[in-house]
Amino acid sequence: MLVRKEISLLIAVVCTVAGASSFAAENAPTVQELWEIVQQQQVELEALKAELEASRNQTQSIEVQSFENSQRLELVAEVIDQPNRMSGSSWADRTTIGGYGEMLYNDETSSSSSKELDVQRFVLFASHAFTDNLRFFSELEIEHSFISDDARAPGAVELEQAYLEWDYARNHSVLAGMHLVPMGIMNETHEPNTFYGAERNRTESRIIPSTYRVNGIKFAGQLGMGFSYDLDIHEGLFFESGNGSELAIRDSRQSGARAEMDNPAYTGRLRYTGIPGLELGVSMQVQPDMTQSGSTRSNIGRDGVIDVFGNPVDNLGGTLTEAHMIYQSGAWGLTALFAEWDIDSSIESVANNDLSNNGLGRDRQYGYYLEPSYQFNPKFGSFLRFERTNERAGSNLGDAHDSATSRTIAGVNYWLNDNAVLKLDYQFENDDKDRDLDGLNLGVGWQF
Amino acid sequence: MKKLKSSSIKSVLLLAAMACLPIVLASDDYIAPEEFLARVFAGNLPASDTVWITADKKEIVENILGHEPGYLRVRYWGDTQRSAWIVDEIGKTEPITIGVVVNSQEIEEVKVLAFRESRGWEIKHDFFTRQFSGAYMQDRQHLDRAIDGISGATLSVKAMTNVSRLVLYLAESVSPASS
């Protein structure tokens, strides 16, 4: 029974396969149909090849474009990043505008009219480089905020610098015009953010009469091994008897205003900066005749110099000698300076217009200071300054009696950034007559 | 009158003597960029490449310099091991051109190629630049050491210090370790 079932199944399968083969044979494509299929595929293949070729061309084009763009970018960047700014640069690139200034508060506790808030100076500078080795530099200053025809207005508008400088040999230059005398520390570098203390030190205000600016010609250069020199021929000081004149060095500056040139002065300086953090400097100024050959400058009503008998004084020569040291090592700093005038003794006979003598002790004047400092971090530093000055050290008679002044100042600077600073200090000042001028000084200063 | 004449003659003679000074005095020198590169690579100038100040670097570069860089990229010669870079940076008012050689992420040499400021010329001399030899970068792109300054030339010293930091940072950015 089982065998019969299997045989029937086998027959059914065979019949099915045979039927299918017969159907396939009847529906197989003809040669003609196959040829048409091949032809169609060939067309599609050609289309794909064309597309591939176009794609390749496009890729090549993009690559070329990319390469060209990269080259263009390179050229543009080369122009923008021009390393030598001075060649082919614009007028604006070669012109610099900047400035500095300071506002100070003084509260001298021992004086009745001591509390004062003053924009002591506001300076704008402009410089222009004609070429890499020829440039112009100028500074225009307003002191004490404003000027007016009111005699009480303390202000002044002053040209502080205006000179043309030419590098006539490598590392050597010459300048002509109004410039700062190369002496001391503060006279050339006095932007408020560069020194400690609200007020400048007295030695470099009264003995070296900073800001000491003159008309003249100055040569400067480097000698190698860290040495540099300055040699300066410039207008001399000009003493006048005047009415109640103090015959102070500071008041004798001509500051380039129709300066008398009968007797020009000569200044020389040698500096050594061959060790990082160290500066040593010595300078000397020779003034052949500070009366400018007895000039009376009648054209603008100047008085000249007379003695107590009313006779004109001339041949009043003098020499200023200065030496200084600056040393900075890490956080510690030490600054020291000494300056001294040696003036012909005939200055002692100089009188005011009323024939009262005012030159006593003026033949020797000196000042010195020592200033250690410590900088806690780039923003905060502290200092102490010990200073002594005497503008009538040549005598101990009359006005020259006990004329020296000593002061100790302790204070801090806080730099808001490299170019802006806040200052606070307290001074203990005593003169040899036991008068006190203690006081608090605050300052805010900037440079840009 | 006689005195005035004598004084004028003295002044003219002194001026003439001053003008002659450079002829008789020796002076230190500094070199052109091509000479600098030729010396650094002993005459075999390698290929140069540039580092672009891209967005990711811009903020760090500005922090280092304290202002926007003013250029799009910085060129260097050499490879990731030893490279020479030339960068311009303003001191007080004028650009100072500074060459820096970096070897294994340490400064091998710093050289001023052009100095245009009126103060701070000391920074171009070896007695100053040798302070940078062997310096490397610490955290936040600071040098591993304090650089002693020059009186009256704080800004020139700062410019050189910042360029050294910048070059160390850029040299590190192209080193294999950073990629």
- Domain spans, chain A: 2-80, 96-447
Contacts of A223 in chain B (CB under 8 A): 25-27
Write down the pLDDT at residue A127.
93
The tokens describing A381, both together, are 């530093």
Contacts of A189 in chain B (CB under 8 A): 119, 151-152
Q: Does B149 touch chain A (CB under 8 A)?
A: yes
Contacts of B86 in chain A (CB under 8 A): 83
Report the distance separating Cα A121 and Cα A424, nearest Å: 18
**Res B4 pLDDT > 50:** no
Contacts of B77 in chain A (CB under 8 A): none
Between residues B161 and B115, which one has the greater pLDDT?
A: B161
Asked if B21 and A229 come within 8 Å (Cβ–Cβ), the reply is yes
Cα A318 to chain centroid, rounded: 33
Q: Does B131 touch chain A (CB under 8 A)?
A: yes
> Does residue B10 sit within a domain?
no
What is the count of residue pairs from A and B with beta carbons less than 8 Å apart? 124
The tokens describing A141, both together, are 């200053």
Asked if B148 and A329 come within 8 Å (Cβ–Cβ), the reply is yes
Asked if A221 and B27 come within 8 Å (Cβ–Cβ), the reply is yes
Which residue of chain B is at minimal alpha-carbon distance from A221? B22
Contacts of A165 in chain B (CB under 8 A): 118
Write down the pLDDT at residue A126.
95
How many structural domains is chain B composed of? 1
Q: Does B16 touch chain A (CB under 8 A)?
A: no
Across the interface, which of B3, B75, B116 has its CB nearest the CB of A293? B3
Write down the pLDDT at residue A65.
84
Write the CATH number of the domain with boundaries A96-447. Answer: 2.40.160.10
Write down the pLDDT at residue B28.
44
Contacts of B22 in chain A (CB under 8 A): 168-172, 221
Between residues A139 and B138, which one has the greater pLDDT?
A: A139
Cα A95 to chain centroid, rounded: 15
Chain A: nearest CA to B6, how far in angstroms? 10
Contacts of A185 in chain B (CB under 8 A): 151-152
Which residue of chain B is at minimal alpha-carbon distance from A187? B152
Across the interface, which of B14, B73, B121 has its CB nearest the CB of A233? B14
Asked if A83 and B97 come within 8 Å (Cβ–Cβ), the reply is yes
Q: Does B127 touch chain A (CB under 8 A)?
A: yes
Q: Point out which residues pair with A323 in neighbouring strands.
A: A282, A338
Chain A: nearest CA to B4, how far in angstroms? 6
Contacts of B50 in chain A (CB under 8 A): 77
Across the interface, which of B29, B114, B146 has its CB nearest the CB of A330? B146
Task: Specify whether the backbone of A254 is left (phi greater than 0), alpha (psi in -120 to 50) or beta.
Answer: alpha
Q: Does B6 touch chain A (CB under 8 A)?
A: no
Judged by average pLDDT, the poorest of A409-423, A426-440, B84-98, B120-134 is A426-440
Write down the pLDDT at residue A71.
76
Mean pLDDT by 10 residues, chain A (448 residues): 54 55 66 90 93 91 84 73 55 88 87 79 94 92 86 85 93 95 95 94 96 96 90 93 74 90 95 92 96 69 74 89 94 96 90 75 95 94 97 86 92 94 94 82 95
Which residue of chain B is at minimal alpha-carbon distance from A219? B18
Q: Over A361-423, what HEC string results?
A: CCCEEEEEEEEEEEEEECCEEEEEEEEEEECCCCCCCHHHCCCCEEEEEEEEEEEEECCEEEE
State the residue range of the domain holding B79.
Answer: 28-178
Q: What is the edge-to-edge ordering of all strands in the sheet holding B95-103? A: B48-52, B73-78, B82-90, B95-103, B106-114
Both ends of chain A: CA-CA distance in Å?
Answer: 118
Which residue of chain A is at minimal alpha-carbon distance from B14? A233
**Res B7 pLDDT > 90:** no
The DSSP letter of residue A263 is S
ipTM passes above 0.85: no
Contacts of B13 in chain A (CB under 8 A): none
Judged by average pLDDT, the poorest of A110-124, B56-70, B161-175 is A110-124
Asked if A169 and B15 come within 8 Å (Cβ–Cβ), the reply is no
DSSP B101-148: EEETTEEEEEEEEE---SS-GGGGSHHHHGGGTT-BB-GGG-BSSPPP
Contacts of A137 in chain B (CB under 8 A): 118
> Does residue B62 sit within a domain?
yes
Residue B159: closest CA among B128, B133, B136 = B128
Report the distance separating Cα A66 and Cα A78, nearest Å: 18
Asked if B148 and A277 come within 8 Å (Cβ–Cβ), the reply is yes
Q: What is the amino acid identity at position B51?
A: V
Across the interface, which of A77, A219, A224 has its CB nearest the CB of B26? A224
How many residues are listed for chain A in this entry?
448
Q: What is the amino acid identity at position A234?
A: H
Asked if B149 and A276 come within 8 Å (Cβ–Cβ), the reply is yes
Contacts of B14 in chain A (CB under 8 A): 231, 233, 266
Residue B105: closest CA among B41, B177, B53 = B177
> Does residue B167 sit within a domain?
yes
Asked if A224 and B131 come within 8 Å (Cβ–Cβ), the reply is no
Q: Point out which residues pair with A134 in neighbouring strands.
A: A131, A166
Chain B: nearest CA to A35, how far in angstroms? 59
